Amino acid sequence: MTEQSPALDNLLTESRTFPPSAEFAGQANAKADLYATADADREQFWAGQAERLSWDTKWSQVLDWTNAPFAKWFVGGKLNVAYNCVDRHVESGHGDQVAIHWVGEPGDTRDITYAQLKDEVSKAANALSSLGVVAGDVVAIQLQMVPEAIFAMLACARIGALHSVVFGGFSPTALRARVDDAAAKIVITSDGQYRRGKAAPMKANVDEALQGAETVQKVIVVKRTGSDLEGETPWTEGRDLWWHELVDGQSAEHQPEAFDSEHPLFILYTSGTTGKPKGILHTSGGYLTQTAYTHNVVFDHKPGEDVYWCTADIGWITGHSYIVYGPLANRVTQVVYEGTPNTPHEGRHWEIIQKYKVSIYYTAPTLIRTFMKWGEDIPAKYDLSSLRVLGSVGEPINPEAWIWYREKIGANKTPVVDTWWQTETGSIMISPLPGVTSAKPGSAQRALPGISAKVVDDTGTEVPHGGGGYLVLDKPWPSMLRGVWGDDERFRDTYWSRFSEQGYYFAGDGAKYDDDGDIWLLGRVDDVMNVSGHRISTTEVESALVSHPTVAEAAVVGATDPTTGQGIVAFVILRGNAGDGGDAAVQELRNHVAKEIGPIAKPRQIMVVAELPKTRSGKIMRRLLRDVAENRQIGDVTTLADSSVMDLISSGLNSGK
């Protein structure tokens, strides 16, 4: 037998811990015994969680895994997802509670109560039905963060149609690919969107996308920017309808129909960090159960008391699970903000938190690092004392960013929950429980009660504490993907073939256990670097760089190297006041990494850059930086937020800077 080398070297150590205060722990929704309860009988545990929902017909079996990897949860159960997110709160006497504090980028606002939400969703459901949309049809939604986006999603759920939400900033090509892939019958969009203080056309792009798209029968257009746009909204008579003309006059009465627990709820494409996006399919009962459960225990949400704000875009899974489904099922009062965080000024988020007394705030590491770059004096100007839980999602959060978040935003007292999950998992899988876990900055720590995750080596054997390898999910979970739309083979290949013998779900992420057995996410397996036989994670080197006071953001890649196999090339963005980034500064950073995690991880080259290539959901696209570092033609950039970033970086590199 050949000896297995560790799948990942374990370099960075971080020993700070932050237990919850006794006060927080005492009032928390989830207590420590939840782990044991779930372990004692997982199916029984999930059956209990499903009781959070209102079912028209109760299920007869919790889980059917006989046709793995195609799961069925709450078999035989029937429910209406929109009824669970809206109507039942009105029926229980909370019609006057604000569901959504909507904030437009230009400063206009709209408060929507549950009673109003019920009317809007019912009207939109009637409108879709009037156009012939029936259960099983696909409706594509390309909208910015306006309330109609939420009405439209819930209206689809109400009538059993699947939505496929496409990020508002995506190009006509990206929209068309998604419309065609799912054979969408209806597209819902807006005339234009506000972006960084300016109105930009949206409908014109949709028209370009839909040229010759045969499946699309109607296009519904929300009027948002109106006369702010130059020129008229392009219009196709017979196909295009204004939302307000179609929807506003509909009846606000709509009888929700109960659908099977496994009825498809939506398709959503992954963000494309590692390659061509995949159309992920989610269904109803299990998805809503786990999003509601996780929103309750991870954020410690108290209906009617908390004001919650998840800053994600509706175009990503975080927007689906933690703006729409989980929170609304839990009768949230939440902020929905239309615009960018620096319009009209860099304190916009803090101003909104102050105004609405936001108590739970959930955002992404990329934004936290941006806030760090802008400077701590900006949040310091606002009253953030309402905050009691902070969350992070999307990428590994570097320990320094975590500490900054807790200190500068959370007054050095709020729990910070680092939540690991994916479009495919549907809900949070690995995360601290804010009232239980002694938090470790940079670690997502432990699978939630009811969830099972492991770090394994190449052979699928669990690695010992202190070891690194691949993250797998070794037991099915309620909100798991039910497939890749129209491509069962890709579903099996991508997620289930790597550890088919064990039947594990392969997440595609590297991870390690620390000595306590807590899980640390180490970035994409595709991004792992191999330097002189050492398998080094991008995350660890990036975190070492970010721990230097001059560095705001860092991205690290392995570039082919004649002597070491791969050499580490780092791209860094300096903080506002950090000086010129000349040779001495670069040398200092190289030495800093060597000191923090060891000489093997010392970058061969460090480039100071102004921007990093990111997906529209804010994740760093290392594969493009690898192309630059290896002087290759740059790969697929269709999900990049700003494609000019790559030209900037390449030209900087060629000029030797």
Residue ranges that bind ligand ATP, judged by CB under 6 A? 270-275, 277-278, 316-317, 393-396, 418-420, 422-423, 444, 507-509, 521, 524, 617, 619
Asked if residue 396 belongs to a known ligand binding site, the reply is yes
* CA dist list (Å): 150 to 52, 271, 284, 287, 561: 21, 20, 17, 17, 49
Asked if residue 535 belongs to a known ligand binding site, the reply is yes
Q: Cβ 182 to ligand ATP, closest distance in Å?
A: 16
Asked if residue 498 belongs to a known ligand binding site, the reply is no
Q: Please tell me whether the peptide bond between 344 and the residue prior to it is cis, using omega within 30 degrees of 0.
A: yes
Closer residue to ligand ATP in complex, CB, 275/533: 275
Asked if residue 316 belongs to a known ligand binding site, the reply is no
Asked if residue 421 belongs to a known ligand binding site, the reply is yes
Q: Which stretch binds Mg ion (CB under 5 A): 176-184, 189-197, 264-272, 596-604?
A: 264-272
In 44-97 the beta strands, taken as DSSP E runs, fall at 61-64, 72-75, 78-79
Asked if residue 375 belongs to a known ligand binding site, the reply is no
Asked if residue 419 belongs to a known ligand binding site, the reply is yes
Asked if residue 93 belongs to a known ligand binding site, the reply is no
Q: Which of ligand ATP, Mg ion, none sits in contact with 391, Cβ below 5 to 8 A by type?
A: none
Q: Cβ 134 to Mg ion, closest distance in Å?
A: 32
Q: Cβ 274 to ligand ATP, closest distance in Å?
A: 3
In the numeric block, which tokens belong to residue 595? 């000191």
Spatial distance between the Cα atoms of 112 and 495, rounded to a whole number of angstroms: 40
Closer residue to ligand ATP in complex, CB, 201/319: 319
Q: Going by DSSP bridges, is the β-strand pair 138-141/389-393 parallel, antiparallel, or unpaired?
A: unpaired
Q: Cβ 273 to Mg ion, closest distance in Å?
A: 6
268-297: which residues touch Mg ion (CB under 5 A)? 270
Asked if residue 418 belongs to a known ligand binding site, the reply is yes
- Identify the residue whose tokens are 């479009």: 423
Closer residue to ligand ATP in complex, CB, 160/618: 618
Closer residue to ligand ATP in complex, CB, 286/347: 286
Asked if residue 394 belongs to a known ligand binding site, the reply is yes
Q: Which of Mg ion, ligand ATP, none sits in contact with 234, Cβ below 5 to 8 A by type?
A: none
Total interface residues for Mg ion by CB under 5 A: 1
Q: Which of Mg ion, ligand ATP, none sits in contact with 592, Cβ below 5 to 8 A by type?
A: none
Spatial distance between the Cα atoms of 448 and 440, rounded to a whole number of angstroms: 16
Q: Write the CB contacts of 149 (distance below 8 Å, at least 6 apart in sequence).
A: 141, 143, 165, 314
Q: What is the 3-state secondary structure (H, E, C) of 191-242?
A: CEEEECCEEEECHHHHHHHHCCCCCCCEEEEECCCHHHCCCCCCCCCCCEEE
Q: Which of ligand ATP, Mg ion, none sits in contact with 521, Cβ below 5 to 8 A by type?
A: ligand ATP
Residue 37's CB is within 10 A of a number of other CB atoms, namely 15
Q: Cβ 234 to ligand ATP, closest distance in Å?
A: 31
Spatial distance between the Cα atoms of 245 and 235, rounded to a whole number of angstroms: 14
Closer residue to ligand ATP in complex, CB, 84/271: 271
* CA contacts within 13 A on the Cβ side of 492: 9
Q: Which of Mg ion, ligand ATP, none sits in contact with 356, Cβ below 5 to 8 A by type?
A: none
Q: Cβ 509 to ligand ATP, closest distance in Å?
A: 5
In the numeric block, which tokens belong to residue 58? 């109760």
Q: Cβ 455 to ligand ATP, closest distance in Å?
A: 13
Closer residue to ligand ATP in complex, CB, 63/393: 393
Residue 344, phi then psi, degrees to nearest 5:
-85, 0
Q: Which of Mg ion, ligand ATP, none sits in contact with 14, Cβ below 5 to 8 A by type?
A: none
Q: Which of Mg ion, ligand ATP, none sits in contact with 388, Cβ below 5 to 8 A by type?
A: none
For the CA atoms of 201, 203, 207, 209, the dihedral, rounded to the nearest 10 degrees, stands at: 80
Q: With beta carbons less than 8 A apart as the criterion, state whether 608 and 579 touch.
A: no
Q: Which of Mg ion, ligand ATP, none sits in contact with 534, Cβ below 5 to 8 A by type?
A: none
Q: Please tell me whether the peptide bond between 69 and the residue prior to it is cis, using omega within 30 degrees of 0.
A: yes
Q: Cβ 121 to Mg ion, closest distance in Å?
A: 31
Q: Write the CB contacts of 29 (distance below 8 Å, at least 6 apart in sequence).
A: 296, 297, 300, 301, 302, 435
DSSP-assigned beta bridge partners for residue 66:
none
Spatial distance between the Cα atoms of 125 and 140, rounded to a whole number of angstroms: 15
Query: Which residues form the interface with Mg ion (CB under 5 A)?
Result: 270
Q: What are the binding residues for Mg(2+)?
A: 546, 548, 551
Binding residues, by number, are: 195-198, 318, 342, 394-396, 418-423, 509, 524, 532, 535, 546, 548, 551
